[in-house]
Amino acid sequence: MRPFALSMLVLAACAHRAPDRPALDLAAAMAPPPVEAPTAPVPPEVAVEVAPVPPEPAAASPRAQAEAWLARLTPAQKVGQLMMVGFGGLEVDEKIEALVKGYQVGGVCLFKRNIDSSAQVARLNDQLRGFFEGGVPPFIAVDQEGGNVVRVSDTVVVLPGNMALGATRDAALAYEASKAQALDLKRLGFSMNLAPVLDVNSNPANPVIGIRSVSDRASLVALLGAALVKGQQDANLATIAKHFPGHGNVDADSHRALPRLDDDEAQLLAHLEPFRTSMAAGLDGVMTAHLAVPKVGLDGTPATLSPAILTGLLRRRLGYDGLVLTDELEMQAIAERYGVGRAAVLAVNAGADMVLVPWRAEKKAEVHQALLEAVARGDIAPARLDEAVRRVLELKVRRGVFEPLAPLEQRLADLGQGRDLGLTIARKAVTLLKAEARHFPISARKKVVVVTAESSLAEAIRRRMPQARVLVVPAYPAEGARESLKREVRAASLGADLVVLGVVNARQLELLTNVTLTGVPVAAVVMGVPYLASAANDAKVVLLTYSYRDTATEAAAAALFGEQGTPGRLPVELPRIPYGYGLNSFCLREGAAREDGGACAPSHGKSAMGSRPAPHSTASK
């Protein structure tokens, strides 16, 4: 066993030990903290100047260095450290400079709207850092989760996504890949990643997590999540896991509404195992979720604004002392009910150390003014303000945010040293649920039509079969175009020996039904959430990749043509298909050895989808 794999098993085992604490007194643990008497009002400070300060001696501890910086900051500068902001565009202009320098912000978060290429964003990040020479530089953050949440993709390590990792069960690989990705982010000038997702996707109807989660099993999320956290932090990248206290068991999107989590205390603590495991190993920070937990939070207040959740549960019950960053306050779950300015003050008083306000300029101004006025009135107590800023500063010291970067050209030249890890994960993740011998693997002599919403799948198949006919369809066809699309796909399928259907969402399942009515067999490649496979019973072959990145579609094509096996195992439970299930295609061939060198397990009868036997399905792992 590799040393890291052993350490992760020990970590997981330790995470299950009973905490050395008395049983939870719900009323006491969840009660809001006592409110300090407000200080005498002082006028809000508007002018914010950078106070050049020589760096502390290298021998000083991060806490001591943070305290030295804290002692030199004005109240207005402290307020700035509470804010993480965003802006539009690929370059810095006078308005953006005024935003980040004028507010002396604690962090800047970049999104796809800010990134055209690795070289461009590296120059942008260096320019942002340059605004704070001699002062407190901001975190420069991104949410590079992998899979369907990727902000920068050229020349850097890009991972297929968390659920693909879940299908591999490989903690050592998760660590290695996470560290490689983090090193590339550091080279680009990022100092923080808003990842990994530690939510347990226990609700198949969840509209916002899905394949962003490792699994529907807390134990697997805990094991691989801790590996992802350790990989990033070993690369010295500040790591913010999300979304506390867990966004996996809801069926609403907090961008549009306030989800309600009806877990009781025991259920919630079970789903928090991934957070607890990573916290015990030194997790830098967590991002809050905008959801109500009425059975634990004692009311319907969103967790982001709830003292019962952020102080009572997170700080007191779980004993966590890392950074707490809110999710975007401009989401409708918060903004429509509270307004972003009021919400920022409530979040800080609830226990958050930074608030994320990435979109509209007027909302940033509203948050800044509300925080300044709350500090001036004493509505945010001086001790609470200092506590939050201290955590921000200490994490900046520990993650090298004050330290100079290597020359830009050198950093760009070093990018992408672990890019092959994405394909390694994808190949190990491919999961076969069903395969009829006549149609799998695909023979070069067959007449194949590819219908897919993801063009990279068609490209991967055409590299192997140039004569294949390809029809790339919209992932979300307009309502009025759906019937004509069905007719087009039906016509293209006639005369084919096999249709390979790339499934990203339920719209492509309509096409599956349409094709099977012609009598042409279908091989379904499910690139979206694995739950889609439950509705693919008419397909003769069902293959899962948990990702539509080009590495995942390449691995799918390689498996379809018999170039590699299908070693992945379901990281979630499906209707009539158990957790851990998967057919290894190499084991299906008489006398073939498994690609990992192990022996094939004996057959356990028919596959869960009514086709080939399942030699290595193991529901308990």
Residue type at 260 in one-letter notation: R
Q: Which domains does the chain have, with CATH numbers?
A: 3-31+56-413 (3.20.20.300), 422-588 (3.40.50.1700)
Catalytic residues: 255, 327
Query: What's the rounded mean pLDDT across residues 472-486?
Result: 93
SS3 for 308-346, per residue? Answer: HHHHHHHHHHCCCCCEEEEEECCCHHHHHHHCHHHHHHH
DSSP SS3 for 527: coil
Q: What pLDDT is attached to residue 53?
A: 52
Axis-axis angle for helices 482-493, 506-516 (nearest 10): 40
pLDDT in tens, 364-391: 999 999 999 999 999 999 999 999 999 9
Say yes or no to pLDDT of 27 above 80: no
| Entry pTM | 0.87
Percent of the chain whose pLDDT exceeds 90:
77
- Distances 242 to 112, 285, 326, 446, 522 between C-alpha atoms, Å: 19, 9, 10, 46, 38
Q: Which two tokens stand for residue 284?
A: 């830098």
DSSP SS3 for 378: coil
Q: What pLDDT is attached to residue 54?
A: 47
pLDDT in tens, 211-264: 999 999 999 999 999 999 999 999 999 999 999 999 888 876 666 678 888 888
pLDDT in tens, 542-598: 999 999 999 999 999 999 999 999 999 999 999 999 999 999 987 776 544 444 444
Contact residues for 326 (Cβ-Cβ < 8 A; gap 6+): 287, 288, 304, 347, 352, 354, 355, 356
Q: pLDDT tier at 320 (50, 70, 90 boundaries)?
A: very high
pLDDT in tens, 161-178: 999 999 999 999 999 999
**C-beta of residue 536 within 8 angstroms of C-beta of residue 495:** no
pLDDT in tens, 403-444: 999 999 999 999 999 999 999 999 999 999 999 999 999 999
Q: What pLDDT is attached to residue 249?
A: 83
CA angle 579, 476, 470 (to 5 degrees): 85
Look at 251 and 295; give whichever has higher pLDDT: 295
130 by Cβ neighbours in 10 Å (0-12 / 13-18 / 19+) ranks as: exposed
Q: pLDDT tier at 297 (50, 70, 90 boundaries)?
A: low
Sheet strands side by side (includes 431-435): 431-435, 541-544, 522-526, 498-503, 448-452, 469-472
Q: pLDDT tier at 336 (50, 70, 90 boundaries)?
A: confident
Q: What pLDDT is attached to residue 294?
A: 87
Q: pLDDT tier at 106 (50, 70, 90 boundaries)?
A: very high
Q: What pLDDT is attached to residue 238?
A: 98
Residue that is written with structure tokens 């006592």 in the block = 34
Percent of the chain whose pLDDT exceeds 70:
84
Say yes or no to pLDDT of 402 above 50: yes
DSSP SS3 for 181: helix
Q: What pLDDT is attached to residue 35?
A: 37
**C-beta of residue 203 within 8 angstroms of C-beta of residue 463:** no
